[in-house]
Amino acid sequence: MKRYVILIFIFLLISSTTISQLAYGQVGKTLSQGIYSARDANLKIGSPIAAKIDSPNSRVIIIVIDSDQQLQELIRLGPQSPQHTIKPLDYGSSIIIFGASPVTFT
């Protein structure tokens, strides 16, 4: 009987952490050049996120557009930019990444 209780407890623990990770998005999501919806890219919604480039020798431009198609942020990350904090995103936000280097959002 103890074995079943322990197995059920472990199953519930694993399923709850999986569900919470799906609800809050992945940590350390890497995106390359393109246009992404915040929801489809599985980024954190409602809290600030940090963006940094992976390659120390390249440059990237990040454009954040809200659900009303208004420009929220325009960020240029260069070789000396360690990282930049982006304002909280909403479900209708879009992110445009222009540059050769992938961008990591944490």
CB 101 within 8 A of CB 54: yes
- Does the pLDDT value for residue 2 go beyond 80? no
Region class of 24: left (phi > 0), else alpha (psi between -120 and 50), else beta: alpha
pLDDT level of residue 18 (50, 70, 90 thresholds): low
pLDDT digits (tens, 9 = 90+) for 72-98: 999 999 888 878 999 999 889 999 999
76: Cβ–Cβ under 8 A, 6 or more apart, which residues?
A: 59, 60, 61, 62
Region class of 9: left (phi > 0), else alpha (psi between -120 and 50), else beta: alpha
Average pLDDT, the chain: 84
Average pLDDT estimate for 61-73: 92
Helices (H) and strands (E) in the chain, counts: 1, 8
CATH class of the domain at 26-105: mainly beta
Which sequence spans correspond to the domains of the chain?
26-105
